[in-house]
Amino acid sequence: MKSRNLVTEVWGCAGPKTWGVRVVSEESADTFLNSVLDAGINFIDTSPDYGISEERIGRYISSRRSEFYLATKCGCVYTQHDDHLEIDHVWDRDVVSRNLETSLKRLQTDCIDILQFHGGDADSLQRAGLIETLMSFRDQGMIRFIGSSSSLPNLPGMIDLGVFDTFQIPYSCLAPKHHELITKAAETGAGIIIRGGVAQGGPDAEIQREALNDVWAKAGLDEVLPEGMSRAELILRYTLSHPNCHTTIVGTCNAEHLAENFASSEAGPLPAELYGEISSRVATAVAD
């Protein structure tokens, strides 16, 4: 995982009683999971925290396991209530071991490509011996690579450990604060997985994020939006313009959005002049 990969789209496929938004039926999960593989998308990211996501991936595309890289997470303690999923992260060897055992069963596979710590800080993981635990899983052939899904303030310490094959880091033109840390993480030789790379579509998102909308408005990005390009395309292609973006997570349960996202990724990075203008405007907006 230490070489630059083609940009891919990642699909989680959470089920009911998780966050109450974009709930996906069994039929739609089957259709979408196979559709992303048919489109050439070859990286699937999930977690025990994502409701029945792992079970659906196993149920509907485990027969196509050779066609995609599979990433999940650990350190997850979750309780299903009648109307929601209660989630916590606990840095304990028994929890991590149980997560892997359960994930392998749900995903109907004998090996996870990337097992990622779902958060955590360097000191806690080291004290609990969890880095050695994941290395043991790797030595036993149950996982192939060790990853970290992290952000500030814990990300710098995780990078400094120098043990991770991949980092999953939030980033977009509307939330650029990890820009330099992405570069620092990549300099360790790790693969970089960007999450939030399309910022839920920005101001046109089905799930509105007012803080992101404010950045878009303050930066005046509609003024530089090329004719014929959607806001979501501009945001996604900006993410792809980061020289250390190896793949980015873009989830959807809308067939039209899937096609648009795929077309945007195929179009590739933004022209350098436009990328620079957006960066300058956003830097000014977030500094205010």
> In sequence order, which residues have a C-beta less than 8 Å from that of residue 281 and are 6 or more positions away?
219, 220, 221, 224
Percent of the chain with pLDDT over 70: 90
* The pLDDT of residue 16 is above 80: no
In a domain, 14, yes or no: no
CA distance 165 to 162: 9
Structural domain contains residue 281: no
> Is 41 among the domain residues?
yes
Phi, psi of 240 (to 5 degrees): -65, -15
Q: Which residues, in sequence order, are CB contacts of 27 under 8 Å at separation 6+?
A: none
CA–CA–CA angle 102, 108, 112 (5° rounding): 70
Tell me whether residue 15 is in a domain.
no
Is 4 inside a domain boundary?
no
At 72-121, the pLDDT tens digits run 999 999 776 666 667 889 999 999 999 999 999 999 999 999 999 999 99
Distance CA 86, CA 110 (A): 28
Residues in contact with 61: Cβ distance below 8 Å, sequence separation at least 6, in sequence order:
33, 34, 37, 44, 67, 68
pLDDT of 37 higher than 50: yes
Q: How far apart are CA 277 and CA 288, in angstroms?
A: 17
Per-residue pLDDT of 108-164, as tens digits, reads: 999 999 999 999 999 999 999 999 999 999 999 999 999 999 999 999 999 999 999
Residue 181's domain comprises 26-212+230-271
Residue 21, domain member (yes or no): no
Evaluate whether residue 76 is within a structural domain.
Answer: yes
The amino acid present at 2, given as its one-letter code, is K
- For the domain that residue 140 is a member of, what is the CATH number? 3.20.20.100
The number of distinct structural domains making up the chain is 1
Q: Is residue 11 one of the residues assigned to a domain? A: no
In whole angstroms, what is the distance from residue 262 CA to residue 227 CA?
19
Task: Answer whether residue 183 shows pLDDT above 70.
Answer: yes
Report the pLDDT value the prediction gives residue 7, as an integer from 0 to 100: 38
Q: Which pLDDT tens digit goes with each residue over 227-266?
A: 999 999 999 999 999 999 999 988 777 788 888 888 898 8
- What average pLDDT is seen over the chain? 89
What residue type is assigned to position 127 of the chain?
R
